[in-house]
């Protein structure tokens, strides 16, 4: 031990005296300085500090790993190349002391990067809006991730440096890190090779793009990372022991060999156990995801229809008028719900059967009503047979109790789509955590089709658009720690949630706060709310304009600001009353882009709706462009439409309609706006949007205008 200390001290002295080895620190410091200054100089932040930190941590860590890995190879081989090692080999020092002394120096070099990163992170995140416990968790997470990676990489660097006695060892290290990079690139939720291989990275990369998830922080990956890095640490120790065994074996002492082999085996056992546990965790997530892909496999026809018309209203004969939920959350992703539902039949002919949709993982414990009913279950569907039948306008009051595990995954099991944990909650509507009216696809999977991905399919959330609004009353228990929560309906003074929503319910809990811009609630991480407010203010102008122009509600009731991955998953259920924004949505607000997005919110892109709907959508866009006083270079609608790239593919019939719309524009802006408003109202009134006929609508408009 004493000799290791002496070797360490002397080799450290050499390290201090090599000015070139300080350059990487300067490089990394400058990189972080640039990142921090760029962020801090923003007048309004659109992304929370931790999100910016982790986005950059990803690539800076890769650079750090390369630098430390190459240094480890250098450290292992430098004395052999200079032949000093041949001299040392004649000294009394044993292999373990010599290798360990130098290995500790390489570890210290790596630790320098870790400490620098932690100092930067710790100081920077102190300015962020998070509790002390979360702050400490961030520090611990980064420490374990980066230090674990350094630990194993330095050991591997020594193995390469001892094993391969030329520059190939440096190439080997670079190639190894290249593979790590590819594995991480593979872990973006659409892996082309077995995503289980992602577990073989020197840091836990089991997330999509970034481990940080805005209001949920790093809670989703924290435990997994600890386990992964514990296994990595053990593996690193085994590798360095193997390296010592490989180093000048004829010089190795018998007792040294015995101790090294014993220790290696002793460490291999926990490494395998910890690695096995980590593997099992991920494997069960992946298996669940694969099962989900099979369960939500649609026929070719249903899949195509759903992909094209996912946002269309379902036109059910039933409406869910009232939903009362008493929700009990428990920390292990389980929920227990007692619900009372009021369902009204709106069809013409009397019926006996009504269906509900509830995630299949939730077990129904009670399904009862004052009416005579029988309930049956098939996958996500609950089928209720009403013995006396239901006539038009009749109401069925139903009591439905259920409970179960809500944990769900997307994207190769790397993204948690639903979870209930002490410090984070996410129960989106698409997870099917409360009963929806009708038989609905909670998800649609392309399973069985030709797909290059490893799992062979993709899963998207179902387009869960409702025909009618529902009056909700929700009480939530089991959150005694007081984790901030929000629901897509407002919270009352008594702590329960009450409100009417045509979108439905999505529950979130985490580091969140709520603000209001007019009647729109905005819920998100405290650090991004100023940015979100500013964006909402910009949108408010357009929402107000559209509401005044087209006389339809446009401003959403509630906006959740989520991380990019989760906000994207909500977009399969477009709704006026609920919107999820990501960092990109609030930062990059360009009127020239907004006008298209707003028009798309009113009339979603859907080729099956036909050209007339598209012309109407473009007409709204043009109206918005005029309002925004965007410089298009075109005086009238027709010219602008013709300038769009795809106008050459417009059929001749559609060109006539474009010309007709253009004529109103030529008559004046007010004429154009009135005509568009009229035809839009016609479009809105249609149940089947594909039946929209612009020429007929304009003819009616003309007819109503003529005295």
Partner 1 sequence: MSTVRIDGLNKMYRSVPALTNIELDMGTGVFGLLGPNGAGKTTLMKILSTLLPYEEGRVTIYDLDLAKEGDQVRGLLGYLPQHFHVPMQFTGREFLHYAGSMKGLTNHKARSGQVERLLEEVNLLPQADKKIKSYSGGMIRRLGIAQALLGEPRFIMLDEPTAGLDPSERIRFRNVIEKLGDNHTVILSTHIISDIETSCGQVAVLNKGSLLYQGTTQGLAQKAADGVWEFQVPYADYDKVAKEFAFISSRREMNHAIFRVIAKEPPHIHAAAVQPTIEDGYMAVINGVLS
- Over 23-39, what HEC string results? HHHHHHHHHHHHHHHHH
Tell me the window of 81-89, 138-146, 461-469, 522-530 that interacts with partner 1 (CB under 8 A): 81-89
Our finding on whether 86 is near partner 1 (CB under 8 A) is: yes
Q: Is residue 165 at the binding interface for partner 1, with CB under 8 A as the rule?
A: no
Stretch that binds partner 1, among 75-83, 153-161, 617-625, 675-683 (CB under 8 A): 75-83
Q: Nearest distance from residue 10's CB to partner 1, in Å? A: 4
Q: Is 166 near partner 1 (CB under 8 A)?
A: no
Dig out the tokens for 570 from the structure: 């909500």
Contact 431, 573 (CB under 8 A): no
**What residues pair up with 516 in beta bridges, in sequence order?**
521
Helix axes 611-627, 529-550, angle to 10 degrees: 110
Which of 17, 452, 633, 645 touches partner 1 by CB under 8 A?
17
Rounded to the nearest whole angstrom, what is the least distance from the CB of residue 244 to partner 1 in the complex?
A: 15
* DSSP-assigned letter for residue 299: -
CB of 249 to partner 1, least distance (A): 9
Partners of residue 639 on adjacent β-strands: none
Using CB under 8 A as the binding rule, whether residue 93 contacts partner 1 is answered as yes
For partner 1, what does the binding mask look like between residues 501 and 540, x meaning CB under 8 A? Answer: ----------------------------------------
The secondary structure element, H or E, covering residue 158 is helix 132-163
Q: What's the longest Cα–Cα distance across the chain? A: 112
By CB under 8 A, the residues from 198 to 257 that bind partner 1 are: 250-251, 253
Q: Which residue, 93 or 266, has its beta carbon nearer to partner 1?
A: 93
- Two tokens, residue 554: 């446009």
Nearer to partner 1, 96 or 186 (CB): 96
Provide φ and ψ at 322, rounded to 5°: -140, 135
Q: Determine which residue in the list 26, 37, 41, 83 makes contact with partner 1, applying CB under 8 A.
A: 83
* 3-state secondary structure (DSSP) of residue 12: helix
Rule CB under 8 A: is residue 2 a binding residue for partner 1? yes
Candidates 18, 43, 387, 629; binder of partner 1 (CB under 8 A) is: 18
Alpha carbon separation from 491 to 14, 440, 472 (Å, rounded)? 64, 28, 11
| DSSP at 208 | S
The sheet with strand 373-378 has its strands ordered as: 373-378, 381-390, 351-357, 436-437
Site string for partner 1, 251-290 (x = CB under 8 A): x-x-------------------------------------
Measured CA to CA, the distance from residue 270 to residue 135 in angstroms comes to 29
Residue 424 to residue 213: CA distance in whole angstroms: 10
Q: Is 115 in the site for partner 1 (CB under 8 A)?
A: no
Out of 44, 88, 126, 182, the residue judged to bind partner 1 by CB under 8 A:
88
| The only residue of 59, 84, 192, 200 in contact with partner 1, by rule CB under 8 A | 84
- Cβ proximity to partner 1: between 92 and 372 the closer is 92
Enumerate long-range contacts of 413-418, CB under 8 Å, 24 or more apart: 413/195, 413/282, 413/285, 413/286, 413/287, 413/288, 413/289, 414/187, 414/189, 414/195, 414/206, 414/207, 414/208, 414/285, 415/189, 415/207, 415/208, 415/565, 415/566, 415/569, 416/220, 417/569, 418/333
Among 30, 90, 159, 334, binds partner 1 (CB under 8 A): 90
Complex with partner 1: residue 56 or 95, whichever CB lies closer: 95
Quickly count helices (H) and strands (E) in the chain: 19, 21
- Distance of closest approach, residue 4 Cβ to partner 1, in angstroms: 10
Using the minimum distance from each CB to partner 1, give the nearer residue, 12 or 197. 12
The CA distances from residue 432 to 216, 279, 358, 361, in Å, are 21, 28, 5, 9
- Token pair of 231 as six digits: 């296994």
Torsion of CA 566, 567, 568, 569, to 10 degrees: 50
Residue count (the chain): 707
Q: Which stretch binds partner 1 (CB under 8 A): 83-91, 424-432, 610-618, 679-687?
A: 83-91
Q: Contact between 6 and partner 1 (CB under 8 A)?
A: yes
Decide if residue 98 touches partner 1 (CB under 8 A): yes
Interface with partner 1 includes 22 (CB under 8 A)?
no
Number of residues that bind partner 1 (CB under 8 A): 26
Which residues in the 644-703 window bind partner 1 by CB under 8 A? Answer: none
Task: Select the residue interacting with partner 1 from 27, 62, 63, 89 (CB under 8 A).
Answer: 89
Smaller CB separation from partner 1, 87 or 193: 87
Shorter beta-carbon distance to partner 1: residue 6 or 607: 6
Q: Are 240 and 75 in contact (CB under 8 A)?
A: no
- Specify which residues 367 forms β-bridges with: 400
Helix (H) or strand (E) holding 460: strand 459-461
43 vs 90 by CB, closer to partner 1: 90
Q: In the complex with partner 1, which residue's Cβ is closer, 250 or 372?
A: 250
Among 22, 23, 30, 87, binds partner 1 (CB under 8 A): 87
Minimum CB separation of residue 97 from partner 1 in Å reads 8
Interacting span for partner 1 (CB under 8 A) from 91-99, 135-143, 239-247, 447-455: 91-99
Stretch that binds partner 1, among 78-86, 291-299, 344-352, 600-608 (CB under 8 A): 78-86
CB of 12 to partner 1, least distance (A): 11
Residues in touch with partner 1 (CB under 8 A) = 2-3, 6-7, 10, 13-14, 17-18, 79, 82-84, 86-94, 98, 250-251, 253
């Amino acid at each position: 031990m004493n000799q290791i200390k002496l070797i360490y001290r002397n080799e450290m002295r050499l390290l201090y005296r090599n000015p070139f080895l300080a350059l990487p620190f300067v490089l990394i410091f400058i990189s972080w300085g640039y990142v921090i200054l760029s962020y801090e100089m923003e007048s309004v932040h659109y992304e929370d500090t931790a999100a910016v930190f982790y986005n950059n941590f990803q690539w800076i860590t890769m650079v750090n790993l390369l630098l430390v890995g190459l240094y480890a190879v250098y450290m292992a081989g430098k004395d052999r190349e200079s032949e000093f090692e041949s001299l040392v080999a004649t000294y009394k020092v044993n292999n373990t002391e010599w290798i360990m002394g130098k290995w500790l120096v390489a570890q210290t070099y790596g630790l320098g990067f870790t400490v620098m990163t932690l100092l930067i992170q710790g100081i920077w995140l102190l300015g962020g809006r998070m509790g002390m416990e979360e702050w400490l968790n961030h520090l611990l997470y980064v420490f374990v991730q980066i230090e674990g990676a350094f630990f194993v990489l330095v050991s591997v660097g020594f193995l390469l440096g001892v094993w391969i006695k030329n520059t190939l060892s440096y190439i080997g290290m670079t190639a190894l890190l290249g593979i790590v990079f590819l594995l991480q690139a593979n872990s973006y939720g659409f892996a082309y090779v077995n995503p289980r291989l992602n577990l073989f990275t020197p840091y836990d990369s089991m997330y999509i793009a970034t481990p940080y998830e805005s209001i949920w922080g790093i809670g989703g990956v924290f435990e997994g990372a600890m386990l992964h890095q514990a296994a990595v640490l053990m593996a690193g120790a085994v590798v360095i022991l193997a390296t010592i065994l490989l180093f000048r074996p004829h010089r190795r002492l018998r007792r040294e060999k015995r101790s090294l082999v014993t220790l290696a085996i002793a460490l291999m056992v926990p490494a395998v156990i910890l690695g096995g546990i980590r593997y099992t965790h991920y494997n069960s997530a992946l298996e669940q995801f694969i099962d989900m892909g099979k369960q939500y496999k649609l026929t070719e026809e249903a899949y195509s229809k759903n992909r094209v018309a996912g946002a269309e209203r379902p036109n059910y004969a039933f409406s869910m008028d009232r939903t009362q939920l008493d929700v009990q959350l428990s920390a292990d992703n389980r929920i227990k719900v007692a619900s009372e539902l009021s369902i009204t039949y709106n069809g013409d002919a009397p019926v006996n059967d009504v269906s509900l949709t509830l995630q299949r993982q939730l077990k129904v414990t009670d399904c009862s009503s004052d009416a005579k009913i029988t309930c049956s279950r098939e996958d996500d569907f609950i089928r209720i047979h009403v013995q006396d039948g239901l006539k038009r306008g009749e109401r069925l009051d139903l009591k439905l109790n259920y409970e179960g595990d809500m944990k769900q995954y997307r994207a190769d099991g790397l993204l948690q789509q639903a979870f209930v944990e002490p410090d984070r909650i996410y129960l989106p509507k698409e997870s099917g955590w409360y009963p929806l009216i009708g038989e609905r696809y909670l998800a649609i999977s392309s399973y069985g089709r030709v797909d290059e991905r490893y799992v062979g399919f993709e899963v998207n959330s179902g387009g869960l658009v409702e025909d009618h609004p529902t009056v909700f009353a929700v009480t939530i228990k089991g959150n005694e720690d007081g984790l901030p929560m929000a629901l897509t309906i407002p919270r009352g003074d008594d702590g329960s949630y009450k409100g009417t929503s045509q979108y439905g319910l999505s529950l979130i809990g985490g580091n969140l706060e709520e603000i209001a811009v007019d009647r729109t609630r905005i819920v998100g991480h405290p650090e991004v709310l100023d940015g979100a407010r500013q964006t909402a203010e910009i949108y408010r102008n357009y929402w107000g304009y559209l509401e005044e122009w087209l006389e339809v509600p446009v401003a959403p009731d509630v906006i959740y600001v989520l991380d990019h991955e989760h906000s994207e998953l909500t977009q399969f259920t477009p709704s006026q009353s609920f919107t999820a924004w990501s960092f990109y949505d609030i930062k990059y607000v360009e009127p020239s882009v907004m006008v298209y997005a707003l028009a798309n919110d009113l009339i979603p892109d859907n080729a099956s709706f036909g050209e007339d709907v598209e012309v109407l959508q473009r007409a709204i866009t043009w109206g918005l462009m005029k309002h925004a006083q965007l410089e298009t270079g075109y005086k009238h609608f027709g010219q602008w439409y013709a300038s769009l790239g795809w106008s050459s593919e417009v059929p001749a019939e559609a060109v006539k309609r474009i010309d007709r719309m253009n004529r109103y524009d030529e008559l004046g802006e007010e004429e154009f706006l009135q005509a568009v408003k009229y035809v839009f109202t016609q479009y809105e009134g249609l149940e089947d949007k594909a039946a929209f006929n612009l020429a007929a609508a304009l003819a009616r408009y003309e007819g109503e205008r003529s005295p």
